[in-house]
Amino acid sequence: MKRILFLIALAMLAGCAESIKTFPVTGKVIYKGDDQPFKGVIYFEAVKPPHTRSMAATNADGTFSLSTVREGGGAVEGEQVVRIDVDQTDESQVRDKGKNIHPKYLDFATSPLKVKVEAGKANNFTIELDRPGQKK
């Protein structure tokens, strides 16, 4: 059931991604300072229109592989804003969201995280998060 909901969300986020060129994107989400992995969801949104989005659930070790509509499809080329959220299917994470993630990462408009996806590159990113309560 979780998998079906994830695929439906991907389809809604990406729209007609079948006609766009994407590149594989992998990486790891960790907390700054102690390198502890973050377990949740990561989203990339292209800065340029049509602002194509990609997403992935992170694994227990914080690793991820982005998808658009096609699993493993990656992300479109160019600068991306990165948004992070807790796993919405994990009730304890949703209930304790403020303990798991700094609010600035929850919205594309406030997230300071940016990466550049390039054709012909490895596109393997380490995303470092401030812990909740840290200012930066």
- Kindly report whether the peptide bond that precedes residue 50 is cis, defined as omega within 30 degrees of 0: yes
Rounded Cα distance between 94 and 15, Å, is 27
For the segment 32-45, what is each residue's pLDDT rounded down to a tens digit?
A: 989 999 999 999 99
* Bridge partners of residue 132, in order along the sequence: none
Compute how many other C-beta atoms are within 10 angstroms of the C-beta atom of residue 64.
Answer: 22
Compute how many other C-beta atoms are within 10 angstroms of the C-beta atom of residue 9.
Answer: 14
For the segment 92-103, what is each residue's pLDDT rounded down to a tens digit?
A: 666 677 778 899
For the segment 68-91, what is each residue's pLDDT rounded down to a tens digit?
A: 755 457 899 999 999 999 876 666
Domains and CATH numbers, the chain: 2-129 (2.60.40.1120)
Residue 24 tokens, joined: 């594989």
